[in-house]
Chains A and B, each alone.
Chain A
Amino acid sequence: MDNVFVYCETEGAQVAEVSQELLTKGRKLADELGVELHAIAAGSGLKGKVESQILPYGVDKLFVFDDPALFPYTSAPHTDILVGLFREEQPQICLMGATVIGRDLGPRVSSSLTSGLTADCTQLEIGSYTEAKTGKEYKNLLYQIRPAFGGNIVATIVNPEHRPQMATVRSGVMQKALFTGSARGEVVYPEVGKYVSPEACVVKVLDHHVEAARHNLKGAPIVVAGGYGMGSKEGFDSLFELAKLLHAEVGASRAAVDAGFCEADRQIGQTGVTVHPKVYIACGISGQIQHIAGMQDSKIIISINSDPDAPINQIADYVITGSVEEVIPKLIKYYKKNSK
């Protein structure tokens, strides 16, 4: 009872990186609360393959649900597993990735258990809360901190009365680290049929197609990112050229993705990927708060913008006031000239 649970997402027998990031965060929360960290993996062909990807992050107990009906993921069977297990285990916190799966599963589970769920948290902390009306005090609640209102404000959300306190977190927001302390590392393989009824498996996946990641934006040491100011899909070609020279990855703002200049999987910001590169080159990005939320931890920020008052300039180390059409070819030219 009262433990911290992390739902570990799998593609085949591969555990998602965001789940490992959450295990690291979950371990810290469990230590602070003096409880155990438990993990759940549900899929097909997991036994003997996922344990080594999950236990090293400090897991005390891992529940592996292994059945052909559990992969590819569909909503109802995975919901039944979590709801059934949570009724038995009564966890106080449940974390999952703010991925397509996590955002499909989390709300369904929270609705079944009538517990609160906060999406896309950027920080998770433990703290107390006093209800204004009744004056009732709650200790050791999970602070679910997230941007809201298009990223213009940051709200701290609590679930005083309902358990588990559920939160989703996007990939890259937390940092994973192997656990150096000691954890119990128990693994159990519950009988899936006890949790999932055949009627839950009526949605059929006719075709499931996942491509290997086309880029490693999250782990790239240098990111060249383009905004609406790049003007077109062709405008982004110059960013790819610059990125290739610098061994960088190309990212984009939401405005550029919405305009069709760049694929959605390269979007950086509150509703995209969070990056922590050594160098971030922002090209034609005005710097809406929701974008800055996903790149503000970059060590060095270079902003290229024709508007000297672009908000992103405030957090930049170098500001080049000029058009991207003029500056980017020059960067390419002078890098080629001086790098050898």
Chain B
Amino acid sequence: MKLKIVVLAKQVPDTRHVGKDAMTPEGTVNRAALPAIFNPDDLNALEQALRLKESCPGSTVGVLTMGPPRAGEIIRQGLFRGADTGWLLTDRLFAGADTLATSYALATAIRKIGDVDVVIGGRQAIDGDTAQVGPQVAQKLGLNQVTYAEEILGIRDGKATIRRHIDGGTEVVEAPLPLLVTVNGSAAPCRPQNAKRVMKYKYASCPLERPAEDPRSELYAQRPELTLTQWSVADIDGDPTQCGLAGSPTKVKTVVNIAFQAKESKTLSASDADVEGLVKELLAEKIIG
């Protein structure tokens, strides 16, 4: 069967490789020092979507993302790796969204896209680590959900068979479409960018990403596929009171930087004498048995 597949992907600051300059001298997060990347689990999700497309000829994969105009990069990355299309939700009204308001925006956009069979996202994003948006989108659209997926084994007779991770084990579940799946970072890694597709789509962009006097305006007029879809709250017929900060039940009361109480420590070398001395000390004080 032909499937219409939507991949949920997020552009995130690379919190996994936080260097010494990640915090400013004033103690706030130095966003400029953290490169913006394709959320790692979402790449695993994209791979599952592309495999599903290959196993069900005639299927399409589109990448849906929400963020500032530069998040158009996520759609380009998706196109380079094999996606057919993409949508960027970008509007100041979306800003400051918690997971519930984010899921409202994504669910509303998926309704606008229409007739979606499978929604696939990463299990969680590394900037929040909440894993909440997937199930919340599923609830809003009334979709069945399978979280923590390792592999979509196949789709037959309108039902997907999925191997998933659970605490202390694994499960194989069968879930009817339409369906939302979230994929673990331990699932198969995403295929690399395809050189031909990079050549084809390298200038693809959302209108808001382009400079006012765009030297490539002629190219875009000739090749409409290079203009990526960009949607505001109004474009998806969204309710502004359910978007962004206004639509977020959770509020951030305070944010503090973590400072650990440094201890007085005993510094030793790797010499035999130092190591044996430490072992003897720990044994004598019954710290180790």
Contacts and interface: CB of A to CB of B under 8 A. Distances in A.
Contacts of B131: 103, 107, 119
Contact of A111 (B16, B139, B168): B139
A151 to B, nearest CB: 7
Interface in A212-254: 212-213, 222, 246-247, 254
B161 interface: yes
B186 A264 contact: yes
Contacts of B15: 149-152
A279 B258 contact: no
A157 B268 contact: no
Contact of B269 (A151, A212, A320): A320
Contacts of B195: none
Interface string B73-115: 0000000000000000000000000111001000000000000
B228 interface: no
B70 to A, nearest CB: 19
Given A314-B263, A315-B260, A321-B269, A206 B250 contact: no
Contacts of A278: 287
B275 A334 contact: yes
Contacts of A271: 129
A319 B172 contact: no
Interface string B245-280: 000111111111110111101111110101110111
Interface of A: 11, 72, 74-76, 79, 99-101, 103-108, 110-112, 114-120, 129, 131, 143-144, 147-162, 202-213, 222, 246-247, 254, 258, 264-265, 270-271, 278-279, 288-289, 292-293, 296, 300-302, 308, 313-323, 326-327, 330-331, 334-335, 337-339
A118 B251 CA distance: 10
A104 B171 contact: no
A157 B252 contact: yes
B135 interface: yes
Contacts, number: 253
A30 B148 CA distance: 33
A74 B176 CA distance: 13
Contacts of B165: 100
Interface of B: 13, 15-16, 18, 22-23, 29, 98-100, 103, 126-136, 138-140, 144-148, 161, 165-176, 185-186, 248-258, 260-263, 265-270, 272, 274-276, 278-280, 282-283, 287-289
Given A107-B136, A321-B270, A210 B168 contact: yes
Contacts of A321: 267-270
6 contacts: A105-B135, A108-B145, A119-B128, A153-B255, A159-B249, A208-B166
Given A100-B147, A206-B172, 4 more contacts: A207-B170, A222-B288, A315-B261, A334-B280
B97 to A, nearest CB: 12
Nearest to A151: B258
Contacts of B253: 129, 143, 155-158
A151 B140 CA distance: 30
B182 to A, nearest CB: 9
B171 A209 contact: yes
Contact of A265 (B168, B270, B278): B168
Contacts of A209: 169-171
